[in-house]
Amino acid sequence: MDDRRNELKKIIMDTKTLPTLPGVINKLNTLSNDDKSSVQEMARIVSADQVLSARILRLANSPSYGFYRVSTISNAMILLGVNVVKSLALSSSIFEIMEKNSVGLWEHSLGTATAAGIIARKLAIPEVEEITTAGLLHDIGKVIIGLKCVEQMPEIRRMIKMDELYVIDAEKTVLDTDHAEVGGWLSKSWFLPEKLSEPIACHHNVIASEDHRVKTSVVHLADVLIKASGFGDSGDSYVPPVQQIAWETLKLDESLLKEIIVELEDKLVEVKNFSLELQVA
Amino acid sequence: MSQSRIALISTQIPLSSMLQLRLQSKGYQVMVVDKTTAALGAFYSDPPDLIIVDFSSPCIGCHDMLFMVRSDSFFSPIPIIGIFPASDEQESWEDFPLDDFVTIPFNFTELSSRITLSLSRIKRIFDNNPLTRLPGNTSIHRAIEESMGLPLAVCYVDINHFKPYNDVFGFSHGDEVIRMLARIISNTVRESGGGFSGHVGGDDFVFIVPRERAEQVCTTIINHFDQIVQTLFDEETKQLGYYNALNRRGEKEQMPILAISIAVVPMDSPTITHAARVAEVAADLKKLAKGNNGSSFVVDRRTKAAE
């Protein structure tokens, strides 16, 4: 078991790129080169895609540039330049087989990013864009597990269905690790700043986060709310409870939560349209 | 001497694996790329010291990729060597932004010598600033001379209160700010339609753009710098708008969050009588810009030559 875990960790340390949806790449391909509006459109598409965002942040934080803490796509675009971002995005590989659940996970990530942004603004928490990015990337571990643990996936899926387990518990049983830990490893090896890596690694266990507990709590809550809304497909059939520590950290109450949910429901209609637009691209 | 890293772009596996082996035996680290679409991503995340491109077999997207490498100041100094099939036909070199070439069938000793020469040439002629890789003073002086009397604006950029930031946060963070500003300036100039960007040294930069674009470029550089600089300070400092540092007399003083000043000198103005005058005019304008709080730019609008 331990071997499997170490083996997976080693694979992740060697992972330099991850595939994304064909529609995203096609859409980027159709944007013209020197048009202001297409630069904004490019930023919008890139910041809606967890894999592209992670790759661009990896580059912006890589030692060859010497920047230490680039945690948003808009800052990465300023520092790397539009041309670098575009050619990096277009050099992405795509999912060879378009799996239904990769679209579901893509929507879940985008939904969580949206929810995280709404929560952060509502609670007047600083660094909204960083929190949104952390929300977008929180399940990046699932992309890697889906890609690198092809043999174990049927068993994980069977346990989720038959034994009624959460994804994270099925992963732990079969892989001796889980997507949160795997995502944490990837964010370390891709030089992502801690304000992103900690929420990614701790979104299922908020108490384990030390330096960025507020951001982690927001991402955790956003993840739960999106699961409850039925938007996208995280792989879980059941909605996990909001962890007490997150509730306390954010000083939530029911009326605040209600306002957040109302705003989120409205916004998700727009997000769904955007997602459909990219899928037909 | 540390191992030089060579990226080898070729779709012919027998050729690339043979070359890879022979180059490795010479002590080079070799990265083989067989898809040009993947090449840029690989270069950007891990820049090689030299690139070899095989044009002896179809190389789809190779030209675009080479032009992309050449158009970014950070990557443009990387030497590129092309491999061509033997033929009497003269290549149109404008289409090949290369530094050198070899023809097939090639003599490996020759290729190896060309690699060594390319790498040493780049060290010798490198005027670029090692921290930012932007062109240095020799190139800046030439660019200013060449823009005399033309409808261009020479713009001098520097960071306000940079020394105390360096003292409080350390040189490595100071260097990071310099690198960030360098990228912001060169990206903005390039995305505005092109121009010249150079690094005088320390926190002093120069860029040259057409006169009518100067204000827009200055505004974008300032907005981008002000946005990026937010990430360098903690929440408390951002709320307060200052941090504590010691001033030149060793007294505690409140230092504002980093900002930049830009002096814009139109080169077709009568105040510019000779190239050395540009820096003097800029120095006067800088004093005006520094009188403002936060980032700002000042344009020279005087219509008469100073006495």
Domain residue limits, chain A: 15-90, 100-280
A121: Cβ–Cβ under 8 A, 6 or more apart, which residues? A128
Q: In Å, how far is A196's CA from the nearest CA of chain B?
A: 14
Report the 10 Å Cβ neighbour count for B10: 22
B71: Cβ–Cβ under 8 A, 6 or more apart, which residues? A83, B190
Q: Which two tokens stand for residue A265?
A: 């429901």
Task: For residues B168 and B189, state if they share a domain.
Answer: yes
Domain of B179 in residue numbering reads as 137-299
**DSSP states along B72-110:** STTTTTS-EEEEEE--SSPP-GGG---SEEEEES--HHH
Query: CA-to-CA distance for B121 and B115, rounded, in angstroms?
Result: 10
Query: CA-to-CA distance for B135 and B122, rounded, in angstroms?
Result: 13
Considering B101, B124, B147, which residue would you say is the last residue of a domain? B124
B218-257 confidence digits (pLDDT tens) = 999 999 999 999 999 988 898 888 899 887 788 888 999 9
Task: For residues B191 and B111, state if they share a domain.
Answer: no
In a domain, B95, yes or no: yes
Q: Which two tokens stand for residue B34?
A: 């067989």
Residue A92 to residue B186, Cβ atoms within 8 A? no
A136-156 confidence digits (pLDDT tens) = 999 999 999 988 888 999 999
Q: Which fold has domain A100-280?
A: Hypothetical protein af1432 (1.10.3210)
A217 pLDDT band, cuts 50/70/90, is very high
pLDDT for the residue numbered B304:
58
Residue B180 to residue A67, Cβ atoms within 8 A? yes
Chains A and B: how many Cβ contacts under 8 Å?
77
A90-102 confidence digits (pLDDT tens) = 777 666 555 666 8
**A61: chain B residues, CB-CB within 8 Å:** none
Greatest pairwise CA separation for chain A in angstroms: 54
In a domain, B131, yes or no: no
Check if the beta carbon of residue A56 is closer than 8 Å to that of residue A76: yes
Task: For residues B98 and B165, state if they share a domain.
Answer: no
In a domain, B103, yes or no: yes
Report, as an integer, the average pLDDT of A191-198: 94
**B9: chain A residues, CB-CB within 8 Å:** none
**A64: chain B residues, CB-CB within 8 Å:** 45-47
Task: For residues B117 and B181, state if they share a domain.
Answer: no
Check if the beta carbon of residue A55 is closer than 8 Å to that of residue A92: yes
Residue B187 to residue A91, Cβ atoms within 8 A? no
CATH classification of the domain holding B64: 3.40.50.2300
**B175: chain A residues, CB-CB within 8 Å:** 66
pLDDT for the residue numbered B121:
82
Q: In Å, how far is A176's CA from the nearest CA of chain B?
A: 31
B98-115 confidence digits (pLDDT tens) = 889 888 887 888 999 999
Query: CA-to-CA distance for A56 and A72, rounded, in angstroms?
Result: 9
The closest alpha carbon to A219, from A128, A105, A134, A110, belongs to: A134
Query: CA-to-CA distance for B83 and B101, rounded, in angstroms?
Result: 6
Q: In Å, how far is B110's CA from the nearest CA of chain A?
A: 31
Query: CA-to-CA distance for A78 and A63, rounded, in angstroms?
Result: 17
Domain count across chain B: 2
| ipTM above 0.90 for this complex | no
Residue B72 to residue A16, Cβ atoms within 8 A? no
Task: For residues B84 and B59, state if they share a domain.
Answer: yes
Task: For residues B90 and B147, state if they share a domain.
Answer: no
What is residue A100's three-state secondary structure?
Answer: helix
Best of A32, A87, A195, A211 to disrupt the B interface (most B CBs within 10 Å) is A87
Question: What predicted TM-score, i.e. pTM, was given to this entire model?
Answer: 0.81
Dihedral (CA of A44, A46, A47, A49) sign: positive
pLDDT for the residue numbered B65:
85
Q: Which two tokens stand for residue B61?
A: 């997207």
Of the candidates A68, A87, A93, which has its C-beta nearest B68's C-beta? Answer: A87
Check if the beta carbon of residue A116 is closer than 8 Å to that of residue A218: yes
What is the amino acid identity at position A182? Answer: V
pLDDT for the residue numbered A86:
80
CATH classification of the domain holding B274: 3.30.70.270
Q: Which two tokens stand for residue A102?
A: 């990769």
Q: For A70-94, give one letter per residue: b (16+ CB within 10 A) or e.
A: bbbbbbbbbbbbbbbbbbbbebbee
Task: For residues B57 and B178, state if they share a domain.
Answer: no
Counting as low any pLDDT under 50, the low residues of chain B are 1, 306-307
In a domain, B129, yes or no: no
